[in-house]
Amino acid sequence: LAVPGCGKKETVKVGIEQNFRPFTYMENGEKKGFEVELWQAVAKKADIPYELVPMEHGELIKSVKSGGVDLAIAGMTVSNARKNNFDYSSPYFQTGLVVLTSTDNGVIKGKDDLTQKVVATKNGSTAFNYAGEIQGAKIRSYSNIADVYTELKNNTVDAAIFDERNAHDFLKDKAQGQVKMVGEAFNKERYAVVAKKRNKYIGKVNKGLEAVSKDGTYEAMYTKWFGS
Ligand code: GLN
């Protein structure tokens, strides 16, 4: 006899981001992106019942801390600063930070030209931490990366620093030739699924990640979203 609800596993709440293209974003009310698809595949392999909860990056970090969500998959960089408060899965993406500036800016050629400059970035991000270390730089930070890009396009800041792939996405689709990327990517970053310390999920997530990497799912998704 089947007893309804009996043996039913708890639904894991997984935080994603509303605007972190091409990893996790909302478009016409739909959840999209490389990380959304990666998560779906991982959860299937590891048999994790889940619900995706979209929110802003700052909210996401707080929510993982307070237990509002159990996990987050949203371009979360493994950083020493966060390691005291969070646990990470195995990293699944390698990237870095980049500098963006106006197309007609001939002075800023990379991260070493930002001293005393007005630099925009996203609140609470690893780029924000990096920017805070630049000698004499004035930092303007926003919780939505769209506002950073608007500042750049309007030429109301000298430069912006943010995650490389997200910046690429903006340059490709919305910069309209007004913004360019300068210098090499720096500050090697690795993205991982994040959870509260002493959680019961990361082990399963790692098993799922291993499985999608072994059977070629990961590679196919990577190629779909980022090219080979
Ligand atoms: N990778 C950056 C960080 O972890 C930005 C992530 C994001 O904006 N979603 O802080």
Say whether pLDDT at 3 is over 70. no
Pick the CATH number of 12-92+192-226 from 3.90.1580.10, 3.30.1550.10, 3.40.190.10, 3.40.50.2300: 3.40.190.10
Q: Measuring from atom 6 of ligand 1, which residue has the nearest CA?
A: 75
Give the pLDDT score at 1: 55
List the structure tokens of 43: 């959860």
What predicted TM-score, i.e. pTM, was given to this entire model? 0.94
Q: Give Cα separations from 77 to 92, 148, 191 (angstroms).
A: 10, 19, 4
| pLDDT score at 82 | 86
The pLDDT assigned to 6 comes to 59
**Each residue's pLDDT tens digit, 93-146:** 999 999 999 999 999 999 999 999 999 999 999 999 999 999 999 999 999 999
Residues 6+ apart with CB under 8 A from 40: none
pLDDT of the residue at 76: 97
Cβ neighbours of residue 201 under 8 Å, at least 6 residues apart? 12, 48, 70, 71, 195
- The Cα-based distances of 114 to 159, 184, 205, 219, 223 in angstroms read 8, 14, 39, 36, 34
- Report whether CATH 3.40.30.10 matches the domain 95-189: no
79 Cα nearest atom in ligand 1: 4
Domain boundaries, the chain: 12-92+192-226, 95-189
Ligand 1 contact, 74 CB (< 6 A): yes
Q: What is the mean pLDDT of residues 66-73?
A: 97
Q: Work out the mean pLDDT of the chain and round it to a whole number.
A: 95
pLDDT digits (tens, 9 = 90+) for 27-52: 999 999 999 999 999 999 999 999 99
- Provide ipTM, 2 decimals: 0.97
Mean pLDDT of 154-180: 97
Distance (angstroms) between ligand 1 centre and the Cα of 154 equals: 24
Pocket of ligand 1 contains residue 163 by CB under 6 Å: yes
Scanning the structure block, which residue is given the tokens 């720096």?
186
Of all residues in the chain, the percent with pLDDT exceeding 70 is 96
Per DSSP bridges, beta strands 86-88 and 19-20 are unpaired
Q: What percent of the chain has pLDDT over 90?
A: 92
State if residue 18 touches ligand 1 by the CB under 6 angstroms criterion: no
Q: Token pair for residue 24?
A: 């996790």
Nearest CA to ligand 1 atom 7: 75
Mean pLDDT over 21-26 rounds to 97
5-17 pLDDT, tens digit each: 555 678 999 999 9
How much is the pLDDT for 4?
Answer: 59
CATH fold match for the domains 12-92+192-226 and 95-189: yes
